[in-house]
Amino acid sequence: MELTTVWFILIAVLWTGYFVLEGFDFGVGILLPFLSRDDTERRTMVRTIGPVWDGNEVWLLVAGGATFAAFPEWYATLFSGFYLPLFLILLALIMRGVALEYRGKSDSTRGWDRAFFWGSLVPAVLWGVAFANIVAGVPLDADHEYTGTLFTLLGPFALLGGLATLLLFTQHGAIFLALRTTGELRRRAVRASRVLVPATMLVVMGFLVLARSGPLSWVAVGMAFAGLLGAVLATAAGRDGWAFTASAVAIVGFVAALFTSLWPNVMPALDPANSLTVTNAASNPYTLTVMTWVAAFFTPVILGYQAWTYWVFRRRLTGAV
């Protein structure tokens, strides 16, 4: 297998890890004003992600760094053409991080909770918009420069992608809260998950069917459907752990469907002659070789540390502070 293919797959894996782990963080923030009844419950919801949210964001940093090093042309075109949406995502993530750190140090938490909500909602929508545009293709010239405007990125298919990730992450967050809490808060999370199920399945599957291209993407679409269905059945049976696993599988299938539809492009152009591919966007073979050795050494270390963190903070939380 060529190193360009290896790194395309690794970047897909990094985005998958980010969406699976950061997805429930976004979901918790989006659900905060709807599931909590008082400050104690809001504090409990925040505590469910308190030990892990910043570690989950490492996946985004590594995905961005890997894209810059392995496919610099892709990185340059993406960040110049999608500058404003990505800037808004960055601002939202900063606002969310500040809210999570400072809400426990302030006498009034209402403002920080609003910041947490909006800092979760905006990325949950805009990541879907961004990836929908990447898969569908954007206007690029012969120098691989983006020639569209902000409104070019806000077409119906892109907005459907934003709605798909919003619903997918919100349901993922509801299932995570059901897994990590007890009592009335858990019951509300379970009810929220059941309410979200029909819309999530309809929108996510509709988006993936429109985005798919090739037999492998159909397999990934099937995985996403099986994961969503499994989450429904496990939630109905009160098996919170299996429900969360199934929800994670749905997100894995979702990302896999996008990347398999994208291959062998990394940034399709409306004019196929101007598309960026794994070949013309890649770094030189020496750079990819060095990166491969570094990834082979450090990836198991990072995965082991993060798995240990989740194991340590695995117990359910009650409403007590």
Beta-carbon contacts of 319 under 8 Å, excluding residues fewer than 6 positions away, are 40, 41, 44, 183, 185
| In the predicted structure, residue 151 carries a pLDDT above the cut 90 | no
The DSSP H or E segment spanning 75 is: helix 72-81
- The two tokens of residue 80 are 């110049």
Beta-carbon contacts of 84 under 8 Å, excluding residues fewer than 6 positions away, are 150
Would the pTM count as exceeding 0.95? no
Average pLDDT, the chain: 89
Please tell me the distance from the alpha carbon of residue 36 to that of residue 41, in angstroms, as a whole number: 5
Q: Locate tokens 């359910």: which residue?
A: 316
Average pLDDT over residues 214-243: 89
Compute CA distances 308 → 175, 179, 301, whole Å.
21, 18, 11
More confident residue, 267 or 150: 267
Residue 51 and residue 315 in contact, taking contact as beta carbons nearer than 8 Å:
no
More confident residue, 107 or 203: 203
Length of the chain: 321
Average pLDDT over residues 113-118: 93
Most confident range, picked from 105-114, 245-254, 294-303: 245-254
We find that the CATH architecture of domain 16-285 is Up-down Bundle (1.20)
CA atoms within 13 A on the CB side of 166: 17
Residue 124 and residue 169 in contact, taking contact as beta carbons nearer than 8 Å:
yes
pLDDT at position 16:
94
Average pLDDT over residues 162-167: 96
pLDDT at position 319:
56
| In the predicted structure, residue 109 carries a pLDDT above the cut 70 | yes
Q: Read off the pLDDT of residues 88-108 as tens digits, 9 standing for 90 and up.
A: 999 999 999 999 888 877 767
Average pLDDT over residues 175-187: 91
Please tell me the distance from the alpha carbon of residue 244 to that of residue 226, in angstroms, as a whole number: 13
1 confidence band (pLDDT: 50, 70, 90) = low
Please tell me the distance from the alpha carbon of residue 127 to that of residue 77, in angstroms, as a whole number: 17
321 confidence band (pLDDT: 50, 70, 90) = very low
Q: Read off the pLDDT of residues 38-60 as tens digits, 9 standing for 90 and up.
A: 888 889 999 898 888 888 888 89
Q: Read off the pLDDT of residues 271-310 as tens digits, 9 standing for 90 and up.
A: 888 889 988 888 888 888 988 888 888 888 888 888 888 8
Q: Locate tokens 């963190």: which residue?
A: 309
